[in-house]
Amino acid sequence: MGVVNLARVDERLIHGQVMLTLSQRNGVNSIFVVDDVVAKDKFMKDLYKSAGSRTGQKTIVMTEEKCEFYWDEFKFKEYSCILITKTVTGIYNLVKHGVPIKDLNIGGIAKKGDDDILVTKSVYLNKADALKLKELNEEYGVENIYFQATPSASSTSLADVLKQFGL
């Protein structure tokens, strides 16, 4: 059975030194990029697979539905992966579906709406996404949720971010 070694939300998906450093974690042998738009665009899919291969890890790009199927049918085989989505909702849906995640890193989310607030140097969140993260932590066993743009940056805890929303 496979395992999600680390889940990450970053709208840039795979980028430079961050993914290289994260992919050197113990036991990681693959990167799963889960994004419906990228997975359905051959050029973008090939681009991300190429970027991921520079880390030395097998990179698989798939839709959210395909990821759920791959978990249900194969339990991610023998992959120990970093699972990346662009949005909190993407990770939320996968975990609610049954994909087990213990560690979740929120790396970079740009402002999209008037309700979004800057919660860390590189992350904007709205209250709905903050509530999803709280639910993942309290009800779905995602034990360690933290905000950290790069591995060398300081991290911010979920509790500190939730305080900004009065939660």
pLDDT digits (tens, 9 = 90+) for 112-137: 999 999 999 999 999 999 999 999 99
Among 121, 117, 128, 127, smallest CA distance to 156 is for: 121
pLDDT band at 142 (very low <50, low <70, confident <90, very high): very high
Inter-residue contact 60 to 45 (CB < 8 Å): no
For 100, 117, 138, 155, 161, the CA distances from 34, given in Å and listed in that order, are 15, 25, 24, 24, 25
Please state the pTM of the whole predicted model: 0.94
Other CB atoms within a 10 A radius of the CB of residue 77 amount to 11
**Domains annotated on the chain, with CATH:** 3-163 (3.40.35.10)
Taking the C-alpha atoms of residue 95 and residue 110, their distance in angstroms, rounded to an integer, is 22
66-79 residue pLDDT tens: 999 999 999 999 99
pLDDT bracket for residue 17 (50, 70, 90): confident
